[in-house]
Amino acid sequence: MCGIAGIIHRDGSSDVGSEMTRMLQAMKHRGPDSSGYALFGEPSELVVIRFKLADANDPRDFDFKERLERHRQEVESRLHKIGASVDRVERETEYAYRATVRYDGDMKALADYLEDVPGCEVLSLGHSLEIVKDLGDAQEVSDLYRLGGFSGTHAIGHVRMATESDVDISGAHPYWAYPFSDVAVVHNGQLTNYFQWKRRLESSGHRFQSECDSEIIAVYLAEKMADGDSLEDAMHRSLDELDGVFTYMAVTQDALGVAKDEMAAKPLVLYESDGIVAMASEEIAIRAVLNREIETTDPYEGQVLVWTR
Amino acid sequence: MSGARRTTYDARGLAEPHAEVPKVSDIDGAAASFDATELTTRQINLELRWLLYELRILDVTVRNPGAKHSIGVGILQRCRIRYEGSLGYFGLGLIDGPEITVTGRVGWSVCENMMSGVVVIEKNAGSLTGAAMRGGDLVVHGSVGARTGIDQKGGTIIVGGDAGTMTAFMMQRGRQIILGDVGPGLGDSMYDGQIYVAGSVKSLGIDCVEGEWTDADTELIERKFRIYGLGTPPAFQKFVCGKMLYNYDNLEPSEKKLVI
C-alpha cells in the first residue's frame, strides 16, 4: 500500500523534521516496514552526504564494528583523495553517517568513488537535501536520527509496505536521484515498464542500489532536468513515458511537485494556502500538522502540480 | 490526549483492537451529540451504536470527526446523523436507512454498498464515491475523484462539481447526475443505468452512448433538484449503455462455436 507525504513552507523555514514525523506516523498503518525522509534545510556552501556502510538487518558477525570503522576511514580517505575538504563526518547510527565537505567537482565521480568502498551506499548528496531512511515507523526513525528540530523549507516522506523488493534501507524511500544533487522522490504505486527504463538508464551510466521500481523515477526526472527540462516539464513527460499506476512526489532545492497517473488509482489529498502546501495519501496526515478544519481536494488523473518555496 | 484514550495498535499496526464504548455524549431528550476529537475510529463507531441501538436516540451529531477512516459504517437504522467536519476513507459504508449530513469533505469510497437513505456531503469527495451503491440518494455538493459509482447497482448519485476519470465504470443500474465536467472514460463498460452530465465530457468509455431524453428524465431531474435545493436545473446530456459489449450477446461460448 505505502503512504507518501509532502510539505512546503512558502513563507520561511519550519521544523520540517517534526512535521514530517507527525504526518508519516499518522499513516503508519499504510506501511510499517520502513520510513524515510527527504528534508531540505537552508542551502549551504558545503555538500551534505548521507551514507550508510551496512544495512539495519545485516548479520552482526564478530568483526562487524571493526569492519565498519575501517570502511568509514576509507570513505574519509577517499573524500580527501578526490579533492573534497572534509568539514566533519558524524556517525548517526551504528551504520549510517552524515558528512559535510567542501567540494566543487563532479558529483557522479564523488558518489561512485565512495560507493566503491564495500557496503557503502550514498543515500543523498546535495547542498540542502538530506535523506534519512531506516526500518521501523516514523517515530522510531526520527528518534534514532534525532530529526525533531530539523529546520527547513520543505520535505517529503514515505512509509513503506514492502511488496516487490526486500525490507531493508536500500528498498526504503525516498530515493535520491543519483548522481544529481538535491533531487529526491517518493512513490506510491507500481511501474510496469520498470525493467525497460532501468536498462535504458543503466546504459546511460546510472547505477541503481535497489530492486525497487520507484528508484527509476528519481533518476528519470533528474536526467530530464539535466537535459534542460524544468521539474514540471520532466514530470509531465513522465506521465507519457512511465507506465503503471502511481502517485509520486519529487523535490528539488526550491520546489516540490506531485504527479498522478492517468488512472488516478493511487490516492492523494491536497491542502493549499498562501503560506503552506501539504499533501498526503490520507487527510489525517495533513491534519497531524494542521489540526483544524481544512478544505482539501484530490488532484485529478494526469495532473502535475509544482510549488516553489 | 489522555492516556486512557490513546490509540493502541495490534501486531499488524491496525488501530484499537479492544475498545470500550466511551459514553461521552451530551444527551438532550431525543437528541445527542459528542465530540470525536479525542476518540478513535472504533470508539466513535461504538458510541454511535450505543446511542442508536441501545438508547434509541435517533438524532445524533458527531463533532470534529477529524477525517478519521471508516466512520459510521453499517448503520441499519432510520435515523439522523450530522457529522460536523470531514470523514476519511470508507466512511458511511453499508448503511441502510439513515439520513446523514457531512459538513466537510469525505475521502475515498464513501457510501460503498449503501442500501437506502440519504447522504449529503457539503464539500468534496474522493475517488470511488458511492461504489457498488444499491439504493438511496448520495449528494456531493463539491467535486468528486475518479471512478464515482463504480459497480453502482441502484440509487442516485448527484455531484455539484466535477468528476474524474472512469466515472460510472461498470455501472449496472441507478442514476448519476453530474453538474460539472467529467473526465475521460465516462460510463466505461456500463451495463445499465442513466448518467446525466451538465458540463463537458472528456471522452466516453467503451459501450457508453448518448441516450434519448424523455419526459421521465425531466421529471427525475426536476424532482431531485427540488428535494435537495439545487436551484433551476441546467441543460443535461444523457448517457446510457449501448449494449454492444460481449455481455449482451446471449449465446453461451459453446453455442457460439456451433453458430460459427
- Helix (H) or strand (E) run with residue B43 in it: helix B41-49
Return the residue in B35, B63, B165 with the most chain A beta carbons within 10 A, the one to mutate for interface testing: B165
CA distance A130 to A204: 25
Chain B residues whose C-beta sits inside 8 Å of any chain A C-beta:
9, 12-15, 66-69, 85-86, 88-89, 104-105, 107-108, 123-124, 126-127, 143, 145-147, 162, 164-166, 183-184
How many other C-beta atoms are found inside a 10 Å radius of the C-beta of residue A73? 12
What residue in A sits closest to B142 (Cα-Cα)?
Answer: A297
CA B102-B103-B105 angle, to 5 degrees, is: 75
The tens digit of pLDDT for each residue in A178-192 reads 888 999 999 999 999
Residues A100 and A138 in one domain: no
Last residue of a domain, one of A77, A103, A127: A127
Measuring CA to CA, which residue among A166, A260, A106, A81 is closest to residue B183?
A: A260
Phi first, then psi: what are they for B194, rounded to 5°? -130, 140
Give the full edge-to-edge strand order of the sheet including A34-40: A129-135, A34-40, A154-160, A3-9, A276-280, A269-272
Mean pLDDT score across all residues of chain A: 94
Residues A90 and A9 occupy one common structural domain: no
A163 and A69 part of one domain: no
Residues of chain B contacting A265 with CB distance shorter than 8 Å? 146
Domain that holds residue A84: 44-127
Q: What is the pLDDT of residue B58?
A: 98
Burial-class residue A63 by CB neighbours within 10 Å (0-12, 13-18, 19+): exposed
A177 and A32 in a common domain: yes
Task: Examine the domain organization and report whether A158 and A260 are in the same domain.
Answer: yes
- Residue A298 near chain B (CB below 8 Å): yes
Which of these three, A127, A148, A167, is where a domain ends?
A127
Q: Pick the range with the lowest mean pLDDT from A71-80, A157-166, B54-63, B223-232.
A: A157-166
* Residue A198 · residue A216 · CB < 8 Å: yes
**Tens digit of pLDDT per residue, chain B (260 long)?**
344 455 566 555 556 667 789 999 999 999 999 999 999 888 999 999 999 999 999 999 999 999 999 999 999 999 999 999 999 999 999 999 999 999 999 999 999 999 999 999 999 999 999 999 999 999 999 999 999 999 999 999 999 999 999 999 999 999 999 999 999 999 999 999 999 999 999 999 999 999 999 999 999 999 999 999 999 999 999 999 998 887 776 666 677 677 66
Question: 3-state class of B33 per DSSP?
Answer: strand
The CATH number that applies at residue A28 is 3.60.20.10
3-class DSSP state for residue B227? helix
Q: Residue B2's pLDDT is what?
A: 41
**Nearest-CB residue to B126 (from A29, A287, A298):** A298
Q: Which residues of A touch B126 (CB under 8 A)?
A: 267, 269, 298
Q: Which domain holds residue B243?
A: 124-259
User: Residue A129's Cα: distance from chain center in Å?
Assistant: 9
Among residues A106, A127, A148, the one where a domain terminates is: A127
Name the more confident of A203 and B250: A203
Q: Do A264 and B145 touch (CB under 8 A)?
A: yes
* CA–CA gap between residue A24 and residue A143 (Å, rounded): 13
Contact criterion met (CB < 8 Å) for B86 and A293: yes
Instruction: Give a yes or no: residue B128 inside a domain.
Output: yes
What CATH number does residue A101 fall under?
3.30.70.1510
pLDDT digits over A94-118, tens only? 999 999 999 999 999 999 999 999 9
Strand partners, B120: B101, B139
* CA pair distance A293, B182, nearest whole angstrom: 28
Closest residue of chain B to A31, computed from CA coordinates: B13
Taking a C-beta distance cutoff of 8 angstroms, is the pair B241, B209 a contact? yes
Q: What is the mean pLDDT of residues A194-212?
A: 90
Cell numbers placing B169: 465504470
Helix (H) or strand (E) holding B84: strand B80-84
Measure in Å the smallest separation between the Cα of B91 and chain A Cα atoms: 13
The number of folded domains in chain B is 1
How does strand B116-121 pair with strand B137-140? Answer: parallel
Q: What angle do CA B52, B53, B59 make, to 5 degrees?
A: 15
- Residue B16, in any domain of the structure: no
Q: How far apart are CA B156 and CA A21, in angstroms?
A: 41
Q: Which of A113, A168, A111, A109 minimizes the C-alpha distance to A135?
A: A168
**Shortest CB distance from B165 goes to which of A263, A269, A287?**
A263
**A8, A65: one domain:** no
pLDDT at A303 over 80: yes
Model pTM score: 0.92
pLDDT tens by residue, A217-276: 999 998 999 899 999 999 999 999 999 999 999 999 999 999 999 999 999 999 999 999
A43 touches chain B (CB under 8 A): no
Q: What is the CATH number of the domain that holds B215?
A: 2.160.20.60
B54/B103 Cα distance (integer angstroms): 26
Same domain, A101 and A203: no
A237 and A175 share one domain: yes
Looking at the structure, tell me whether residues A105 and A52 fall in a common domain: yes
CB contact under 8 A, B107 and A282: yes
The DSSP H or E segment spanning B196 is strand B194-197
> How close A251 comes to chain B (CA, Å)?
25
A244 lies in the same domain as A186: yes
Integer CA distances (angstroms), A11 to A14, A219, A290, in order? 9, 29, 16
Q: Point out the residue among B12, B89, B183 whose CB comes nearest to the CB of A301.
A: B183
**Contact, A286 vs A276, CB < 8 A?**
no
Of A29, A284, A294, the CB nearest to B14: A29
Tell me whether residue B71 is in a domain. no
What is the rounded distance in angstroms from the CA atom of residue A20 to the CA atom of residue B193?
A: 45
Give the list of residues 6+ apart from residue A125 with CB closer than 8 angstroms, or none.
Answer: A47, A48, A49, A50, A107, A110, A111, A176, A179, A181
A98 and A206 housed in the same domain: no
Q: Is A292 on the interface with B (CB under 8 A)?
A: no
- Within-domain flag for B7: no
For residue B146, give the chain A residue with the closest CA: A264
- In the residue annotation, A212 being an active-site residue is answered as no
Q: Are A262 and A137 found together in one domain?
A: yes
The secondary structure of chain A as a DSSP string is --EEEEEEESSS-EEHHHHHHHHHHHTGGG--SEEEEEEE-S--SSEEEEEESS-TTS---TTHHHHHHHHHHHHHHHHHHTT-EEEEEEE-SSSEEEEEEE--S-HHHHHHHHHTSTT-EEEEEESSEEEEEEES-HHHHHHHHT-TT-EESEEEEEEE--SSS-SSSTTSSPEE-TTSTT-EEEEEEEETTHHHHHHHHHHTT---SSS-THHHHHHHHHHHHHTT--HHHHHHHHHHH--EEEEEEEE-SSEEEEEE-TT--S--EEEE-SSEEEEESSHHHHHTTS-S----B---TT-EEEEE-
Place of cell 529526491: A184
Any B CB within 8 A of A1 CB: no
Q: Return the residue in B12, B62, B84, B89 with the most chain A beta carbons within 10 A, the one to mutate for interface testing.
A: B89
Determine which helix (DSSP H) or strand (DSSP E) holds B119, and give its type and residue range: strand B116-121
